Structure formats: structure tokens, C-alpha cells
Structure 1
Amino acid sequence: MKKLIFLFFVGAIFIFSGCQARLTKGVTPKRDAEKISPQKVILGIENFLTNYKSLVKGKRVALLTNPSGVDSRLKSTADILFEDKTINLTALFGPEHGIRGAIYAGEHVKNEIDPHTGLPVFSLYGAHKKPTKKMLENVDVILVDIQDIGLRGYTYIYTMALVMEAAAESGKQVIVLDRPNPIDGIRIEGNLVEKGFESFVGLYPIPYRHGMTIGELARYFNQEFDIHCDLQVVPMVGWTRDMLWDQTGLLWVPTSPHVPHWKTILYMGATGTIGELRTISEGVGYTSPFELVGAPWIDGYDFARELNVLNLPGVIFRPLYFKPYYASYKGEVCQGVQLHITNPHTFNSYQTGLYILQTLLKLYPQHDPFKFENRVSMFQKVIGCNWIIEDLKAGHSVSEIALKWQDELEQFKMKREKYLMY
């Protein structure tokens, strides 16, 4: 009897398994990407394909892009345009870090042939930062689809500006496919670049955190700095100025090797300028780029205590030890702090960076963070002036320093209004 019962159960299991196999056979599991929250923002590239493709009909098209130029399903704009038989894609342009995003910051990038499409890739971060007439010989219109991060020091926006200049000089059209400002379009921080301190990390007088999308910046640059190219911006749908990246429903693609997450940008706004000095590690070379501030001569507990006493909005400082794998203090044990952002809406990244420098000067006067002249020059380019260093060294408070740029900041806010699209 027991044997019959056992055989009955084995048979039942076999039949049930067979039914399940028949039910699921040929069914393709859903991709993980389909489990993400519903898309709220329609990107410029998607709006272009649906409503604006007629702009390039019968024209030879070039594309300025990198790995961040993707649609909401993470398909690259270069592949989308290349596969679309109604679009004649003839050339690709790549910014800093290269069109594949694999080159270290500041390293020159060479021209190449794209192995996937067979198209020429012209580097705009090598022998030339501005397209030459020869590069534009087989081009009528240049599309721009690249993710900006909302900070003045990121070079992609100036690559776009120089593409616009070249287009104006050669009678070509530029179409910018707009993308979100990942750290919102409301908060604006910092001083403007002063004359004599213009560079490829601050080509125009805009604040360190500008609060504009890349399309809005294109409109601003085109008019305010007399580029006057034939420009059109394809807008997003559904983006609002108060949105942080995680509210857009979009997946984040690293915009460069040390920006693995969108929140990294907020940390970069505070520590990226400090890292330029090379006397202090900002976490580049360790597992938390831009989230750390440290050096072998810092006492992490004292440093954290002094910073937390300031009660800065939206951030807490935690003492820690770390050993960078590369870059500043490679292989040396450092002490310092990790920044923990508690409220991205109130966190004032730029002034937080100045408070960190002020605290270092107070606690460690024997360790001059400005001792490398060539790095001080780079720091001044990134912050757009020389007087901030002088004021910090003279013991002026950050609140006193910030008062000096308030008038120009208000003027910028008023000036940018007519270029805002959302």
C-alpha cells in the first residue's frame, strides 16, 4: 500500500512539472530593466524620434555623444541613429574621456574608426577641441546627446559650445537633444568665472552650480556669448525643475569614470575643487570618489568633530581611515572624513567645500594645501578667480566670502530666465 501511495505522489509531481513546463515553454522572462519605476521623463532623443526627425531629413548628420547618450531603455543614441535607415549618420564626435568613456580625466583622445558603425570618430579632446572645417566636410547638421552634470567644471558643455562656434562659422545646424540636470534646475551656487581665469573647466562666466539643462545652456551660450549658430533644442517631456535624477524614472549611466552614481555629483560639487590641489585626497583612487577628504597628516576624529560643529545644512561628516589604490597618496593610510548627504535639497555643495578648506587651514596650519603652484593655478581655473584663496588664507569666514558673489549671482539668475524651457 505504501508503495502505491509513493508511486502516486511521484506521478503527480511528474505530471505537475510537465504542465508547468508546457505553460512556461517559449515564454521569455522579463528583463530587469522592466522592473524599474514607470518612466516619468521623456528624453530629448525620444522626443526627437517621435516628433522632430523631419529636421534631419535629407541631411548628413553628425553626433556628439559618449556612453551617457542613451534612451530610457539604455540603447545608445549612436546605435539608434545608425540603425534608422531614414537618418544619414556620417560622423561621430567624442568629448573628454572619449566616445566610449574609457579615458582618464585630462588625457588626450585620438581620432579613430568606430568598430561598430564603421564611422569616423573625431576627438574633440585631443589635437583639436573645436571641430575643423575638414571634420565638418561631410556634415550638414550636428546632433548633441550627452549627459551634463550641472557643474561648471565639467568640460562637455564647452565641447558643445565649440561645436556651436564651428557650426556658426561653417553654416551648419546644431540640434541639442535635451537631458535632465541631475541635481535639479533650481539651486544655483558659487561665484562666476572672472576675466583672465577662463579655461576649458570654466569657459564662460556662469556659477559653479548653474541650475540649467544642457539645452538651456546651449541657448544661453548661443545668445549671451555671441555664437549665433543655427540652433534648435529638442525638449524633454515631463521634466520639472525641482527633480533630482532619482525622481525622473531614468537609469543612471556614468558620465565619466569617477561619476558612477548621480549622487556623486553632489559630493563632487564640494570636494572636486579640493582634489585639484593634489595635497588632499578627495576619494578619487578609492572606492568612494568625491565622498572623502583625507591625508596622512589629518586626525579624522578631530576633523569630523570640527566640521560637524559647523552644523552645515544637509550633510554629516564621519571620521574614517582609507588607503587610496591610485592618485593622491596612493598606498598610504589616510585619515579624514566621509561626507554623508542627509538632504540633497538643502546641501550647499560649493560652500561646503570652502568650509572644508577653512577647517583644514585652521587645524593644520603647518600643512599648506596650496603649496603646489601648478596645482594652485588649476584650482583657480576651476573656481574661476584667485581672491577666494587669498581670503581663506587671510582668515576670512566662508559667509564673508560668499557675500562677495551674491550680486553677480542674482544678475545671472535674472539673465538666465529667458533661456529656461521648463
Structure 2
Amino acid sequence: MRKIHLFSASAAMWLSVGCVAAAPVKTGIEVLRERGFDVLRGKRVGLVTNPTGVDRRLVSTIDVLDSAARRGMFELAALYGPEHGVRGDAEAGQAVASGRDARTGVRVFSLYGRTTRPTREMLAGVDVLVFDIQDIGTRSYTYISTMGRVMEGAAEAGVPVVVLDRPNPMGGLRVEGRERIEEGLVSFVSAYPIPYIHGMTVGELARMLNEEGMLRGGVRCGLTVVPMEGWRREMGWEECGLPWVATSPHIPTPEGALYYPTTGTIGELGTLHIGVGYTLPFRTVAAGWIGDAEGLAQRLNGLPELAGGRFRPIHYRPFYGADKGTMMHGVEIFLPRGTKEADSLVFTLIPFYIMQELAALCPEHKPLEEATDSKRAMFDKVLGTSQMRRMFLEAGCRVTPQLRAFWRPSQAFLEKRRKYLIY
């Protein structure tokens, strides 16, 4: 087993606690720069990043490393692009092209196309591989799948990995969802056995994937995590003092990271509109056939299981997408933060409660059953299980205690997770 190195955080961490005004969080790239890029000195460096890899002045990590390379500290040998590409010029789901970065002239290899894992050929001439991407804290978001695949490819090629840590915009306390991925449902949106909301930073997650044998074939890479300074698990993004760069086109604000795991799952069905294509991506659940949006909101606001969340009736026409121009009726979701009710509210079960109340209001429509086979398959892949769908339908479209218990992360996982928390 290779040793994992952790740089110690500075006094800024404890100065941000108590009555002292919170100091801005320093991300891994800023800590690495302050340390004079010591773990990269004299090496040929590969960088996995995208537009979210920036410092607090919005300078790209590509350009930060390129500037240091031009001063002779190391060589920036290659860039690797996940979904959306290193400069963000590829649409969601679009294959990323290899080539040269126009600004630096550094060669670019695609990790979202023919392969999602760097091959030995792609890593030839690279001594160390750096990962710097802002995640949103949800298993089905592909950036952590990319990180795991990068670690697998690096392990096979004998190239060490440096992960530059960043905040989890959902904070580090909320953990939701069954961690076990059913056989046949492992995919790029459920690549590793972790809960749907994992409550970890990318650095913490990298440590766990590496040490718990979660990477494909049980491989382990040489791993260095450069931690942040000043981040605490209870922090919301607004407390970090950092700019937000859209992690993808439909996550333009940090709030989107909270709402993505709330509605993104049922959005895969294609039978309910979740605000993507309108001005509220992931914040609505609506359909043209919902005739009583007011009644739906009242029913949801009356559920004790959803206490803390609020729902208001909404009517809108999407500007683009399959439902462009069609009047939608439904609810807009308002999630709580920083309250006891927020802690007890299971964000990822909200879509099931909405479908439960829709079944009572509109029994002639069944979003789960009306979806195509391929859409239902994707819904299952995102959840990592087909049992949630089946249990819900078999209970007459009801969220039962059994379903809630099934979806809960295991105590064994929570104990395992605790070993790898840095903050």
C-alpha cells in the first residue's frame, strides 16, 4: 500500500471559528502555489481540469501551472479534459476532442469520448498527474467518476496523482442514499459504491477510493491530497469567500448543487419537467397534465416528512428542450439550509413524495410507468438500484418506511467514511 501524504492546514483554519470573522477558504491550487509547487518541482506534469479549476481571482489552474512552468519550476506536459472539456467548450454529453490548448499550446487528451480513463500512451512523458475540478457532491455527477478513472489509469501506468481539494458546495455533513450499486447498474453515473449524496470533498473521496480498494481491479495509485485551508464541514458555499464557476450549463450557481440531487433523478424519466430549459434548472417538478398545481403544493407542504422544505405552485413554458413552448404546471421547490428541519429532510426522497402526491391528484398519470424502457433504465442507473422504483410501485406509489430504510446509507459505510475525512 502506498503512503498518502497530507499537507497540514495553517492557522487560518482555526481563526475562522468562533467570534473571529471567517477567513476566506484557500483551495488546493492556492495552497500548492503558496508552497512553491513543491510536489511538482522538476517534474513533467499532466493536469486534469475544466473551467471550474480556478483560483479566487478566476485564473485557470491551467494558466497558473503554465506560468510556473514558464519560470522553469516544472514542465506542463499534458492536459486532460473531462465532460465539457478543459476550457468548457463542449456541451453536456458531447464527446470531448483531443488536440492542443489554444492558449498554452499544451497537448490535450480527451477523457470523455473514446475513453474515460487515461491510457499508458496518453500518460507517456508524464511524471505526475494533477486533478483540479470543482465537484457538486452527488454520485451521478461525472467529475468524481472521471477522478476515479484517472486514478485507475495512473495506477496502471505507475504515475502518482495529486488531488487539489475544493469545497463540497453541499457541505460535508449530509449523506443520503444506499451506497451499494446493484450488479448491472455500475456506470459512469454510478461508478463507485458511495451514497448518492456522499458529503465528502474530492480529496477525501480520492483517499477512500484508493485505500478501500474501490478502484477497478482494486488498484491503488500513489496519492497526494493538497487540502484546503479554512474549510469546515458545516460551511455553505456562501461562507467560503470563493467565486462560483458554473460546473455545467445547468448548474450556474452554487444553489444548483443542492437542487441537482433533489430532482435530477426523476428528470431522467422524461415524463416530468424539472426546470431544465427554463430559468429554474432542477428547482421545479411540473407537467402539462398537472391540473391542480395549487393543490399539489398544499399537499406537499402538509407532509411532515417534508417539513422545512416549501413548495409553491408554478406555471411556465420552457424556452428549449423537448417541452419547449408547452405550458407546464407544478411546484417550485425551496430547500432549507442551516436548520434542524433541514438536517432531517431527505433531499433525494423529495421526488418520490412528489410522485406520491401526484398519484393521488392525477391517478391517470404514472410518471414511472409512462417512461420508456431506456429512460427507466437510466433512472435506475442514476440511483444505482432498481429496487427503489419497484418498491415504490408495489406500495401503490407510496413512500413507505421500508423504502426510506432501504435508501439509508449503512452504518458500516458511515464508519468507513469517517476514516478518510480531512476536515
Q: TM-score surpassing 0.5? A: yes
1:304-315 correspondence runs (5 A): 304-311=297-304, 312-315=306-309
Aligned equivalent of 1:174:
161
Q: Which of residues 63, 80, 103 in structure 1 aligns to 2:90?
A: 103
Q: Which of residues 302, 317, 323 in structure 2 aligns to 1:329?
A: 323
After superposition, the C-alpha distances for 1:202-250 in whole angstroms (9 at most, x for unaligned) are 1111111000000001011111112310111001111111111111111
Q: 1:322 to 1:275 in 2, by over 3 A?
A: same
Aligned equivalent of 2:194:
206
Q: 1:357 to 1:100 in 2, by over 3 A?
A: farther
Unaligned runs of 5+ in 2: 1-20
Aligned equivalent of 1:78:
62
Task: Return the offset for 1:191.
Answer: 1.6
1:278-289 correspondence runs (5 A): 278-289=270-281
Aligned equivalent of 1:18:
none
CA contact (8 A) 2:352 2:399 kept: no
Q: Return structure 1 stretches of 4+ with deviation > 4 angstroms.
A: none
Matched residue of 2:37: which SS?
helix
Q: 1:254 to 1:132 in 2, by over 3 A?
A: same
1:319 aligns with 2:306: no
Matched residue of 2:422: which SS?
coil
CA contact (8 A) 1:184 1:242 kept: yes
1:292 aligns with 2:276: no
After superposition, the C-alpha distances for 1:261-281 in whole angstroms (9 at most, x for unaligned) are 111111111100011111111
CA contact (8 A) 1:111 1:123 kept: yes
Aligned equivalent of 1:403:
405
Q: What is the TM-score when the length of structure 1 is the normalising length?
A: 0.88
Matched residue of 1:319: which SS?
strand
Percent of residue pairs identical: 47
After superposition, the C-alpha distances for 1:102-122 in whole angstroms (9 at most, x for unaligned) are 433222221131111111111
> Matched residues in 2 for 1:348 and 1:40: separation?
29
Tell me: higher relative CO, structure 1 or 2? Use CA pairs within 8 A at least 6 residues apart. 2
Larger radius of gyration: 1
> Matched residues in 2 for 1:143 and 1:378: separation?
31
CA contact (8 A) 2:23 2:230 kept: no
CA contact (8 A) 2:156 2:219 kept: no
Aligned equivalent of 1:263:
255
> Matched residues in 2 for 1:375 and 1:344: separation?
35
Q: 1:61 to 1:323 in 2, by over 3 A?
A: same
After superposition, the C-alpha distances for 1:346-387 in whole angstroms (9 at most, x for unaligned) are 143112122122222332232221221100000000011001
Task: Return the offset for 1:38.
Answer: 7.2
Matched residue of 2:196: which SS?
strand
> Matched residues in 2 for 1:409 and 1:253: separation?
33
CA contact (8 A) 1:101 1:257 kept: no
Paired letter, 1:217: L
1:120-139 correspondence runs (5 A): 120-139=107-126
Q: What is the TM-score when the length of structure 2 is the normalising length?
A: 0.88
Aligned equivalent of 1:154:
141
Superposition RMSD in Å: 1.6
1:54 aligns with 2:47: no
1:135-146 correspondence runs (5 A): 135-146=122-133
CA contact (8 A) 1:295 1:329 kept: no
> Matched residues in 2 for 1:392 and 1:405: separation?
12
Q: Which of residues 205, 214, 230 in structure 2 aligns to 1:238?
A: 230
After superposition, the C-alpha distances for 1:127-164 in whole angstroms (9 at most, x for unaligned) are 11111111111211110010010011111011111111
Task: Return the offset for 1:405.
Answer: 3.6
CA contact (8 A) 1:102 1:257 kept: no
CA contact (8 A) 1:281 1:293 kept: yes
Matched residue of 2:281: which SS?
coil
CA contact (8 A) 1:65 1:99 kept: yes
> Matched residues in 2 for 1:336 and 1:368: separation?
15
CA contact (8 A) 2:118 2:150 kept: yes
CA contact (8 A) 1:317 1:340 kept: yes
CA contact (8 A) 1:272 1:290 kept: yes
Higher mean displacement: 151-160 or 52-61:
52-61
> Matched residues in 2 for 1:321 and 1:234: separation?
46
> Matched residues in 2 for 1:162 and 1:52: separation?
28
Q: Which of residues 367, 383, 388 in structure 1 aligns to 2:365?
A: 367
Paired letter, 1:100: R
Task: Return the offset for 1:190.
Answer: 1.4
Higher mean displacement: 347-356 or 237-246:
347-356
Task: Return the offset for 1:52.
Answer: 6.1
> Matched residues in 1 for 2:82 and 2:402: separation?
37
1:417 aligns with 2:418: yes
Matched residue of 1:352: which SS?
helix
Matched residue of 1:209: which SS?
coil
Unaligned runs of 5+ in 1: 1-36
CA contact (8 A) 1:65 1:95 kept: yes
After superposition, the C-alpha distances for 1:12-39 in whole angstroms (9 at most, x for unaligned) are xxxxxxxxxxxxxxxxxxxxxxxxx975
Corresponding pairs, count? 385
Higher mean displacement: 92-101 or 356-365:
356-365
1:229 aligns with 2:217: no
Paired letter, 1:331: G
Paired letter, 1:232: T
Aligned equivalent of 1:12:
none
CA contact (8 A) 1:39 1:250 kept: no
> Matched residues in 1 for 2:380 and 2:125: separation?
39
CA contact (8 A) 1:358 1:398 kept: no
Higher mean displacement: 291-300 or 187-196:
187-196
Paired letter, 1:178: D
CA contact (8 A) 1:41 1:248 kept: yes
Paired letter, 2:25: V
Matched residue of 1:277: which SS?
coil
1:302 aligns with 2:300: no
Aligned equivalent of 2:380:
380
